[in-house]
Chain A
Amino acid sequence: MINNSTMNRVDWPAQVSKIRLFLTVQLPALYKRYPFAVIGAATLLLMIFIAIFAPFLATVDPQAVAPLNRLKPPSWEYWFGTDALGRDVYSRVMYGTRVSLTVGISVAVLSTVIGLAIGLITGFVRWVDAIVMRIMDGLMSIPSILLAIALMALTKASIENVIIAITIAEVPRVVRLVRSLVLGLREQPYVEAAAASGTPLLKTLLRHILPNIAAPLLVQATYICASAMITEAILSFIGAGTPPNIPSWGNIMAESRSLFQIAGYLILFPSIFLSATVLAVNYLGDGLRDALDPRLSRRM
């Protein structure tokens, strides 16, 4: 018991020296090897920070209307200016981070999990494969934004529905990837050996297949996250996405569509945030791919 409690006690000096080691040695080494990935990860962490602490970072209520102050250019008082209703664009952009990150991460997680499940089944069960892959081919031949638009036209605008619509459009791509990886792995000697020695299918999937497809799947998930954030912005921009009462980057730009000739900053600031976040996620994805799959990184 005594032994156990000493083990549980945090050894602060050791922790501090670990953090110091990370900041002074490991992080610079990582940066030297994967500079873009580290920059991407840092930018993404900053965006996550902004999303979490948006209420504290915002100077005023993002929905507060002030008709007297409408269309003010960026100034000390209104860092990113004000929109046609006099709302503070800076505060709106801070809150918009939440929408983009929520949609990007949710779609990445959901479509990866669903695509993984369908892909594993199609890779191992022949008759399901024939049917499911035809459906996936059909879904993939509908341009993803159009499919998301059509799904959004069916339901009422909400963030949940945006996530569901984009996920449905992204799942076929994950299924394709997982299936192609599984088909290759199925022929591997260690998988055949597992089957020959009577290992249950579920155990084979978890022990032999899943670890081998985790890396490419993770890389794919980051790319999906990036593309989902762009799709959300596009859907909101054309009026088929996040409801207008929620400040998302796409919505801020959509509201400013007719004003951009006189107030370009309304479009500029949300677009900088959106592009920087998507770029960060893409860099992170490229870095993960280089680190996890050296064979592919040489080629791409």
Chain B
Amino acid sequence: MLSYIVRRLGATVVVMAVVAFVVFSLLYLTPGDPAAVIAGDVATSEDIARIRQSLGLDQPFLVRFGNWVWALLHGDMGTSIFNSLPVSKLIGQRVEPTLSLTICTLIVAILTSVPLGAIAAARAESKLDHAIMGFSVLGFSIPVFVLAYLLILLFSLQLHWLPVQGYRPISEGIWPWFLHLILPSLALGTVYAALIARITRASVLDVLSQDYIRTAQAKGLKESDIMIHHALKNAAVPIITIIGIGIGLLISGAVVTETVFAIPGIGRLTVDAILRRDYPIIQGVILIFSATYVMINLMIDLSYVFFDPRIRY
């Protein structure tokens, strides 16, 4: 087990190094000279050269990459070109809305998709199964923002049940916070739930054909007991794997969802940064999101042992 964890951590470090390299190269390849931007219109070429030198822009690629990684390891992600604030601070201010949105979405998606997938598997090839799977294909064919607008049109503009847009911090009360998160979570969660439901069905269907399920049925156990204690438990590993992989989908979707619902989170920060070509922020956001994704999947890999005692490393 320990050697597996060490090996897995080693692989994670390599992956993060690749991510850092890709992200740094992106900034390196950026058209335009940051020194010229900072120097302004009236600067002479000597001024620009001096600024380039003071920023270390005249050094070779690998030296700059090394310096950048060194700063990164000390928590320095650079400063925004647009408002000169540290990127880490800008991202830090925006963590709460994004975290609220993604956690709510995770809960909504898992609570709906796993039961639906299990029901579809239990009633495989029935009308109910076809309906659930049909909706699941529909779920990942509708782009997040389209679904978001449809939900707003129906629940906010027609029925007036829920707020159209915006976000309330949790410090202003749980209820307003929750009300503002319902539609965004539904919009963002649908694609994700569709994916999980599909895998849950496939995985449970596989388990249901096993001998021990027949034994349980022969013992006269209730169908729900068999499903929860025997089938779902043994089907858990592929399901949690797809939940982990789907985090990537969730992060991409959050960028769009925050734009539609005017939620001031990291996704919104990203879109604003793109429109202003504020590369240090784009870099920082990609790094943070990728690191989150890698870490969650690392934890999921390590958690297999708890879900399935047959797995030994």
Using a CB–CB cutoff of 8 Å, the interface residues on chain A facing chain B are: 36, 134-135, 137-139, 141-147, 149-154, 226, 230, 233-234, 237-240, 253, 257, 260-261, 264, 267, 271, 274-275, 278-279, 282-283, 286, 298-300
Contacts and interface: CB of A to CB of B under 8 A. Distances in A.
A260 B22 CA distance: 38
B144 interface: yes
Interface residues of B, number: 57
Given A146-B252, A239-B271, A279-B141, A141 B282 contact: no
A171 to B, nearest CB: 13
B234 interface: no
A134 B21 CA distance: 12
A142 B141 contact: no
Interface string B282-296: 110110011001100
Most buried by B among A141, A240, A278, A298: A141
A197 to B, nearest CB: 38
B251 A143 contact: yes
Nearest to B273: A153
A294 to B, nearest CB: 14
A226 B202 contact: no
A21 B178 CA distance: 59
Contacts, number: 139
A253 B146 CA distance: 9
A237 B31 contact: no
B274 interface: yes
A141 B22 CA distance: 11
Interface of B: 11, 14-19, 21-23, 26, 29-31, 134, 137-138, 140-146, 149-150, 152-153, 157, 164, 198, 202, 205-206, 248-249, 251-252, 255-256, 259-260, 270-271, 274-275, 277, 279, 282-283, 285-286, 289-290, 293-294, 297
Contacts of A261: 157, 164
A230 B270 CA distance: 19
B297 to A, nearest CB: 8
Nearest to B165: A261
17 contacts: A138-B17, A139-B18, A141-B297, A142-B23, A143-B290, A146-B286, A149-B255, A150-B23, A150-B26, A153-B277, A237-B145, A237-B256, A257-B260, A264-B153, A264-B157, A278-B141, A300-B202
Q: Which 9 A-B pairs give the minimum distances between C-beta atoms?
A: A138-B18, A145-B252, A279-B141, A271-B146, A278-B141, A143-B248, A143-B252, A143-B251, A299-B202
B301 to A, nearest CB: 13
Contact of B143 (A142, A275, A286): A275
Given A141-B15, A154-B31, 13 more contacts: A36-B137, A141-B248, A143-B289, A146-B285, A149-B282, A150-B26, A150-B283, A234-B143, A234-B144, A238-B256, A239-B274, A271-B150, A274-B146
B143 A233 contact: yes
Contacts of A238: 255-256, 259, 271, 274
Contacts of B150: 271
B137 A279 contact: yes
Q: Is the interface of B mostly helix, strand, loop or mixed?
A: helix
B312 to A, nearest CB: 23
Given A138-B15, A286-B137, A274 B143 contact: yes
Nearest to B29: A154
A153 B19 contact: no
Contacts of B31: 154
A30 B140 CA distance: 25
Contacts of B16: 138, 141
Nearest to B249: A143
Contacts of B270: 146, 149
Contacts of A226: 141
Given A138-B15, A154-B26, A261-B157, A253 B145 contact: yes
Contact of A145 (B17, B141, B255, B290): B255
